[in-house]
Amino acid sequence: MEKQVLEIPRIGRLPAGPLDSICDVGDVTVGHCTLSEGALQTGVTVVRAHGGDPYLDKTPAAATVLNGFGKSTGLVQVQELGVLETPIGLTNTFGVGTVANAQIRAAVAANPEIGRGMATVNPLVFECNDGYLNDIQALAVQEAHYAQALAAAGKRFEQGAVGAGRGMSCFSFKGGIGSASRVAAIEGERAYTVGALVLANFGRLPNLTVAGRPFGRRLVQQVAGGQAGVAENAAIAPEKGSIILLLATDAPLDSRQLRRLSLRAGAGLARTGSVFGHGSGDIALAFSTAYTVPQQPDRPMPALAMLHEARIDPLFEAAAEACEQAIIAALWRAEAVTGRDGHRRAAIREAAPHWRQWLADTEF
């Protein structure tokens, strides 16, 4: 029996790709390993830029640190050299080192001369703190979980409370993994796709904005009116948590242009109501699938025409819109989760079953 497609609010005006996910771009694939047992509510998510060897055929990339409250690894070399050398790993804060070790072992297994006759490898892992729902002190993430997520990578993948997103919270509701894509028409060029994947674990409920509407304030009013099931999510506290925003595009951009693209993820994030709060680690990374950079100097460097700077604005719009949509997807596709010490995060669609009416209400 085919799984029913869950309806979510539609953001923006640009068309989506056929999957409406980051996997609409090139050969990008995504895989999860989810840990869900009692107090352990966590996992690993892996994003592969292409199906080949990421160390031998590096992917051009760049990052923007919107707020550096985070414990990622690998960013310094990405910023210096402008390439990815491993798949991108997502996990919880205390799992970063373990996933990085798994990435190194996988690279060495494929290329035994790494660190000897060949250069070392730069693992790349991003994190968010899932400690409200997950017993993060248990250090449950193991190297085998990265391997499972990597092996599971495909074009179609689950979103919501899965993989690295299993224990994440967003605007005091259940958050996690969300993805979307937008197609940008550029004059004088072919159409290019920008795909986004987010690990959403941030936000204050009163600030939540959906399609330009003050959705969070409506939910707070509902709680004040005595509606059941949402009271524990209505506490007004400083913004903390984190969000990782990944952007992929098939447009031919160099690392400098990709850094500019990654910065526009912040526009999509802000539209949902984030102010990049003091305790929120907000990091964006963009990569291009249009070409790869060889590891070995005896192989030719790619020769292709980059997109002219004056034509890049449609990609910026697509990046902002895809990130905003991906965050909404993470919220709407996440199921309720109960974890450590009985802590629970409700699904936002449970708390707001009439969301379609709310968004259609011209008085809202």
The residues annotated with a catalytic role in the active site are 242, 280, 282
- SS3 of residue 200 by DSSP: strand
- CB within 8 Å of 4: residues ≥ 6 apart: none
- CB within 8 Å of 150: residues ≥ 6 apart: 31, 46, 48, 87, 106
Rounded distance, CA 287 to CA 285, Å? 7
Long-range own/partner contacts, residues 3-9 (CB < 8 A, 24 or more apart):
6/332, 6/333, 8/328, 8/329, 8/332, 8/333, 9/210, 9/211, 9/328, 9/332, 9/355, 9/359
Rounded distance, CA 280 to CA 268, Å? 16
Rounded distance, CA 242 to CA 254, Å? 27
> Any idea how long the chain is?
364
